[in-house]
A and B are shown apart, each in its own frame.
Chain A
Amino acid sequence: MDPNLPVLNREEALGRLEGDVELWGEIRDIWLEDVESLMDGVDRALGSKSPDGLRRASHALKGASANVGAVRVAATAKTIEINALASEWKALTESVEILRNEVEQAKIQLKLA
């Protein structure tokens, strides 16, 4: 992942929504409501060592986060999605830990935005 990626790229997300700030606010609220459940899905798949489950759960988190502009979460989730079927569980566990931290950072910034 590009270390220069911002936690939140609100402008890019707004560009896709034709600058509709109100609509962006609505999907931000949806993301804040859903992110714990999405992250639980990732944790469950990791705990049960289900490669396909991990791929699907990280795919869902990636999509939701990309929409709202949480680009670091989206990028980290994408890496896990791609590697879920081929990587060692130790490496995946570390990636999920990074993902969790990114989610916490994104929550802080999105609540403030």
Chain B
Amino acid sequence: MTPGGFHQPRVLVVDDERANLHLLSISLRNEGYLVSVATNGEAALEIARTLPPDLILLDIVMPGMDGFQTMARLKQIKGSSRAPVIFLTGMEDLESKLKGFALGAVDYVTKPFHLEEVRARVRLHLQLAHAQTALIQEQSAKLRSLASAQEMLLLKPSDLPQANFSVWYESAQEAGGDLYDVIDLGNEIYGFLVADVSGHDVGTSLVATAARALFRQNAGPMYSPEETFQLANRILTGWLPPGRFLTACYALLNRNTGMLKVVGAAHPPAAIQSKNGDVRLLEVEGDVLGSFQEACFGRLNCHVNKGDRVVLYTDGLVEDIESGMAWGSSGDRLIDVLQEARNVSLNELPGHLARVLAGDSKEDDILVLAFEV
């Protein structure tokens, strides 16, 4: 931070070649950046721990730890994990460029590099990172005001008939912590969300209201489903009180292609009831939302056919209160019930599952959302 309160961006340059370090550090310093330099991966990690960079220029081929290994380790360092990484690579090295992108690099610069080009890319990616941070802060502020509204406006199937869904929601207490949403993303693409906020009090209900708005804000074609969860997680982590978290399952259906993408955050698996009566569970691993910044969310892609039905639900549907088992054999029971419910209409299906599986239990909220392809 400058004396005037301006945050002077810091660039970490990692390259084993002395001339490259010299060129880049002089060129970037002349532009007003703070520059740290490291000649190998280990030194880069050490510097990143003490002087967290806003952006990293990283050579791939280095003695010892290479650029890919270094990047993976840098992503684990608090303060550096979100710094955009630009790889320095040979012009002909397509494989390295692709691997760099797969690991989370935002861009690359080919060597020998033009200083003007390097500066332009550094500027661009710092601007993008800054914009994303500002967006997250803005969304956090919006969420705080949303939560005070104390009202959850739940979408009814009749509000969005083209989504072809039905839902059953029964709150165990006055203030429920389960939430769902159905989002029309255009071009016959729909997002279906079911989530469960920990706790059973009025605060839980407010969190559910705000979280629903948050997922909606971060859904859309510019984000993959797991990125939607990652963005929501970053905001929730800074916003939720300690001990509060969400589990969630988000299914993105493209009716044109029949592609179903399912992302999970420590949530019971979605179930697919195919038109021919077969039932299977879509187990997707993932961390809870809202507990820590660098949470991971798995994704599963599968093809579905017209007439197939997908069921998302919260654990109130399947948990066995007496045994304390939230999942396990109850998954088999769900499969059995779904197999027998092939002829139950879509409108009736969620209520049918709730009655058969949960019975009169009022120990937890029960939410079941079903949609047909």
A contact residues vs B (CB 8 Å cutoff) = 13, 15-18, 23, 26-27, 30-31, 34, 56, 59-60, 63-64, 66-68
Interface size on B, as a range, is: 10 to 19
- Within B105-130, the residues touching A (CB, 8 Å) are 111-116
Additional A-B contact list (12), CB under 8 Å, known A17-B23, A56-B63, A67-B20: A15-B114, A16-B113, A17-B115, A18-B116, A30-B19, A30-B22, A63-B17, A63-B111, A63-B112, A64-B18, A66-B112, A67-B17
Q: CA separation between A17 and B113, bound complex, in Å?
A: 9
Closest residue of B by beta carbon distance from A15: B114
Bound state CA distance, A15 and B117, in angstroms?
12
- The interface of chain B, by Cβ under 8 A from chain A, is 16-20, 22-23, 26, 61, 63, 90, 111-116
Chain A nearest CB: distance from B350 CB in Å? Answer: 60
CB distance from A79 to the nearest CB of B (A): 12
Residue pair B114, A63 in contact (C-beta under 8 Å): no
Complex alpha-carbon distance, A23 and B20, angstroms: 12
Given contacts A26-B22, A27-B22, A66-B111, contact A56 B17 (CB under 8 A): no
Most buried by B among A13, A17, A34: A17
Min CB gap B29→A, angstroms: 12
Contact A18 B20 (CB under 8 A): no
Point out the residues of chain A lying under 8 angstroms from B112, CB to CB: 13, 16, 63, 66-67
The answer to whether A64 and B19 touch across the interface, beta carbons within 8 angstroms, is: yes
Cα-based distance from A56 to B59 in the complex (angstroms): 13
The reply to whether A68 and B23 contact each other, CB–CB distance below 8 Å, is no
Q: Is the CB of A16 within 8 A of B20?
A: no
Bound Cα distance from A35 to B86, whole angstroms? 27
- From residue A85, how far is it (CB to closest CB) to chain B in Å? 14
Q: Which of chain A's residues have a CB closer than 8 A to the CB of B111?
A: 63, 66-67
Interfacial chain A residues near B22, Cβ < 8 Å: 26-27, 30
* B16, B23, B113, B114: residue with the most chain A Cβ atoms closer than 10 Å: B23
Residue numbers in A under 8 Å from B20 (CB-CB): 63, 67
The complex places the Cα of A67 from the Cα of B116 at a distance, in Å, of 14
A residues near B63, Cβ cutoff 8 Å: 56
Partner of A30, one of B18, B113, B115, B116: B18
Highest count of chain A CB atoms <10 Å: which of B19, B90, B113: B19
A100 to B323, CA, bound (A): 77
- When A16-B114, A17-B115, A18-B116 are in contact, do A60 and B17 touch as well, CB less than 8 Å? yes
A23–B23 contact, CB under 8 A?
yes
A29 to chain B, nearest CB (A): 9
- Which of these, B18, B113, B116, contacts A34 with CB under 8 Å? B18
Shortest distance between the CB of A22 and any CB in chain B (Å): 10
Nearest CB on B from A7, distance (A): 16
